[in-house]
Structure 1
Amino acid sequence: MWPQPLNSTVQQMGTASSMLTQYDIEEVQEHCNNLFSQQEIVSLYERFCQLDRNAKGFISADEFLSVPEFAMNPLSQRLLKMLDGLNFKDFVAFLSAFSAKTSIHQKIELIFKVYDSDHNGKVSFKDMLEVLKDLSGSFMSDEQREEVLSQVLRDAGYSKDSYLTLDDFIKVLGQSDLKMDVEVPVD
């Protein structure tokens, strides 16, 4: 027997196929380490349903690119590799990295995944250079990017030949005042 929907807000969301039950909400909360309230999950579900235009149960790369803020992000192509085909639970888990309640360690894990595009557990100088190029565009020359990145690595005790692991990223970024917080609007 399935639990009843959370409240009338959930019932007003649309057809029966788009309703979340109390059980669904709690399951998603558990999946994202309780970083979102029940109201926030309902709001995220409404947004997920708006993005999932064909009601397939997952969001495609094209649907993500329909969000202007996402499409304009210089790292959107890298992020798409991580996001294409996410179901609702995984969508919320991904967004949990941007919660103010998320630990710095979890935020750094997401950053590491953006840099580690080949998913080998290591980030090379070349990987970092590619991200820096995405971020700086034509504002910096290749030589300037290499110089800046080389200096940052030297300052952190690494060289151009170093391969950084997640632990290295945590060591370098863990002391920073990293801000990656996004509020979930709740109606």
Structure 2
Amino acid sequence: MGSNASTLLRDEEIQEIEEQTGFSHKQILRLYSRFTSLDKTSSGRLGRSDLLRIPELAVNPLGDRIIQSFFADSPDGNIDFKKFMKTLAIFRPIRKSDGPGAVNSVENKLKFAFKMYDLDGDDKISKDELLVVLEMMVGNNITDDQLGLIADRTIKESDQDNVGHITFENFSKALERNDPGQMMSIRFLN
């Protein structure tokens, strides 16, 4: 299938994707093969149901939120290979050659993580949003009261401006000691 993938993807497209994402030629071909195997209709586009066939996303408690991020700028609910690669590139490990504006920069990784919690897209994480995401992550393993206490404590510890919610700046400060560049990276085969 690898040779089939290379004939369907033009060299100019591969080079453009390399420049935009930092993935190697070989990685792009491998991921294109994966993309085409998910594309059951051979339309060159994937929908949400196609991404749900990725086992790691299907079992991830935040899988639906991650999948939703692929379609953020997609009015028709489908993505092409380039959009697929741009979203995956956020999770590419940071290399010394990556500049501060790289798609996989620590700041972009943090923005992605922040959006996982900012359910209404208002650039702040409220206690209610935090509760919804925490419930997604832990399911029925702890009580609503315990979830409420965790959310209250998280807001209190992260809300340096004392405004009752978490801003992106405070979110970033709270996570910077945990090495988000490493924490939000996936190793892609070469």
Task: Tell me what 1:175 maps to.
Answer: 177
Task: Tell me how far 1:24 sits from its aligned partner.
Answer: 0.4
Task: Tell me how far 1:159 sits from its aligned partner.
Answer: 8.7
TM-score, normalised via structure 2 length: 0.81
CA contact (8 A) 1:153 1:159 kept: no
Task: Tell me what 1:13 maps to.
Answer: 4
- Does residue 92 of structure 1 match 2:85? yes
Q: Mean alpha-carbon deviation: is it higher for 146-155 or for 85-94? A: 146-155
Distance 1:169 1:61 in 2: 28
Task: Tell me how far 1:61 sits from its aligned partner.
Answer: 1.0
TM-score, normalised via structure 1 length: 0.82
Task: Tell me what 1:83 maps to.
Answer: 70
The one-letter amino acid of 2:185's match is: D
Distance 2:13 2:57 in 1: 27
Q: Which runs of 5+ in 1 are unaligned?
A: 1-8
Q: Counterpart of 2:93 in 1: which secondary structure?
A: coil
Task: Tell me what 1:130 maps to.
Answer: 132
Deviations 1:53-104 (A, max 9, x none): 1122221111111122211111122223222422111111111121111332
| RMSD (Å), alpha carbons | 2.3
Alignment of 1:117-156 (within 5 A): 117-156=119-158
Task: Tell me what 1:50 maps to.
Answer: 37
Of the two, which has the highest radius of gyration?
1
Task: Tell me what 1:27 maps to.
Answer: 16
Task: Looking at secondary structure, tell me which structure has more strand per residue.
Answer: 2
Distance 2:29 2:15 in 1: 11
- Inter-CA distance 14–44: structure 2 relative to 1 (3 Å threshold): closer
CA contact (8 A) 1:116 1:127 kept: yes
Identity %: 28
- Inter-CA distance 38–14: structure 2 relative to 1 (3 Å threshold): closer
Report the number of matched residues. 173
The one-letter amino acid of 2:43's match is: K
Distance 1:153 1:163 in 2: 6
